[in-house]
Structure 1
Amino acid sequence: MKRFTNLQTDLLRTFVTVVDLRNFTETGVALGRTQPAISLQVKRLEELTGVQLLSHRGKKIELTADGQTLLGYAREILRLNDRAIANLQRAKLLGTLRIGLPIDYSIEYFQSIIVEFAHANPQVLLDIRCNRSSDLLASLHVDDLDMVIAITDVMPAPYVSLYWSEHPVWVCGRNYRIDPDSPIKLIAHPDGCFYRKRMIDALNADGRDWHVSFETPGISALQHAVVAGMGVTALTKKTLLPGMRILSPKEGFARLANVHVGLFYKHIKMSDAALKLIEQITHGVESFRSTTLTHRK
């Protein structure tokens, strides 16, 4: 009979916290253990799994390929463990939950999930902030937000719980015509936007001239500028409006690289309320996504 290896949650919690904090001493402080105890727990987990999970480059701690694989399962196991305990103990969902939503993505869908959560849990105070993805992630890193949905350029990324890929497409107004003798008029978010970068990289690679003719931080103003015929932009198919048309490579607009959208949070700082909302978002993403969920972390 096959003997199963059981991964202890305390070892997994130590492993996830080390990955999040990238420091054994800080992990010990966060979990109430000494630095040697943290090192021993990581070593014990490596013995159980039979693989090296972390590597050291000087003082820098990095995940190995096997560590990256385990990290997704570890976060999910801990989330389920903590939710089970909270439900069994009938934990009250109290406190304030600070949530960041991106203005450069399909914000409406995630707003609806949060509204449903708010109605079911009126005792939880919500602090919802909408901003650029890069600014939201910066706020999460300094503990100014508890959880964030954001677009990023590279995956996996620090504190990501799950992520999926979206394929941006070139779009313009339904009756808009491209002048082959003039620079491409771009409608874009300000510098730092991943859609903007992909458009400019693609045009530069093809040696085409371009000019940002309309710049706005908000998705609504950008969408309406496209419909009004002020130029071209890149959007995901979820954010297309009536009156837009997709531009094809035959019209001179090369395929754009994918962007990555993720749910980010620091596991050791999650309250019962946050874990419940994370569970709802996780389930919601399954029906929302247009492409296969890339990874759980």
Structure 2
Amino acid sequence: MAIDLDTGLLRNFLVCTRLGSISRAAHALGRTQPALSQQLRRLEDIVGEALLQRAATGVSLTAAGAALLPYAERILALSGEALAGVPRAKLSGRCSVGILEDFTGTSLPAAFADFGRLHPDTTLELVALLGSETRTALDSGRIQLALCDAEFLERPPRWSVRVPLLWAAAENFDATIDPLPLVMFSEPCRWRSLAFSALSVAGRCWRIAFESGSLTAIHAAVRAGLGVTTLLPTAMAQGVVSAPVSQSLPALTDIEIGLARRPESEGDVLTNAVEGMLKQLA
């Protein structure tokens, strides 16, 4: 007999992978840590493989977990769209969404492609924006929705989640090098100051070894061993791993990722459906 994947279990799995910690995820979901751990193990029992590697510093994906992740994201995206309760024939028009480049490597683009195939009369546009560009894009009508660092929003976000900002480096990179070489996004980038402040408080000396406005270039520089950088969990890439917090690398401040909407789009049926999908994916 076929076994169905419970969307609730998949959502728990996604939150854990995004936050990198079962305790963080339990807090975000409003559940106890033992209850969440039990549900994660239930999903692992259904799949027949361990999905998360558990350690004192948090959780990371196993090979089976990495394989399941894009399917889980797309299942939840389609579930959110279905729950919007809008007949396909009524979905038409254009909706532009601004996102951090950190989300372009997730299954979000594929979920938007699925949405477009289900609703051929719609035109969806994803725009990778710097956090500082988001407010202007919303005010001008360039985008109707934004998924970004909430610090750049003029008003409180409609929905938000706190995500850890992580140190990232090439495997076996020596983080005790003094001064610590940094691979940083070019200005304007709020996360630079968060990294500089944490290092200063920890008494670490640092230097900029490489900077760029491109996530692809940041990944390449880190893989080459030029230095450490700061990334969201969604922005990790092959050859770029999360570097554990230690005496060499101090803890970083969490980032509030918020969902914002252009006020003039309120009541728009298509924007409502896309907003529901984003809440499932973020």
**Same fold judged by TM-score > 0.5?**
yes
Match of 1:102 in 2: 100
Match of 2:51 in 1: none
Match of 2:45 in 1: none
Output the CA distance in 2 between the equivalents of 1:179 and 1:279: 44
Change (3 A) 1:278 1:178: closer
Structure 2 residues without counterparts, runs of 5 or longer: 1-83
Structure 1 residues without counterparts, runs of 5 or longer: 1-82, 286-297
- Equivalent in 138, 141, 147 of residue 139 of structure 2: 141
1:278 aligns with 2:270: no
Which runs of structure 2 are paired with 1:189-200 in the superposition (5 Å)? Answer: 189-200=185-196
Output the CA distance in 1 between the equivalents of 2:120 and 2:167: 42
Match of 2:233 in 1: 237
Q: Which moved more, 1:233-242 or 1:112-121?
A: 233-242
* SS of aligned partner of 1:125: strand
Output the CA distance in 2 between the equivalents of 1:213 and 1:146: 37
Output the CA distance in 2 between the equivalents of 1:229 and 1:190: 19
Aligned-partner residue type, residue 191 of structure 2? Y
* SS of aligned partner of 2:196: helix
Change (3 A) 1:159 1:168: closer
Output the CA distance in 1 between the equivalents of 2:142 and 2:238: 37
* SS of aligned partner of 2:159: strand
Q: Which moved more, 1:206-215 or 1:163-172?
A: 206-215
Q: Is the 8 Å Cα contact of residues 187 and 222 (structure 1) preserved in structure 2?
A: yes
- Equivalent in 154, 165, 174 of residue 168 of structure 1: 165
Superposition RMSD in Å: 2.6
Shift of 1:105: 4.0
Aligned-partner residue type, residue 174 of structure 1? E
Shift of 1:279: 1.6
- Equivalent in 112, 116, 120 of residue 114 of structure 1: 112
Output the CA distance in 2 between the equivalents of 1:274 and 1:204: 43
Match of 1:92 in 2: 90
Q: Is the 8 Å Cα contact of residues 113 and 281 (structure 1) preserved in structure 2?
A: no
Which runs of structure 2 are paired with 1:199-278 in the superposition (5 Å)? Answer: 199-270=195-266, 271-278=268-275
TM-score by length of 1: 0.59
Aligned-partner residue type, residue 115 of structure 1? A
Match of 2:62 in 1: none
Output the CA distance in 1 between the equivalents of 2:198 and 2:156: 30
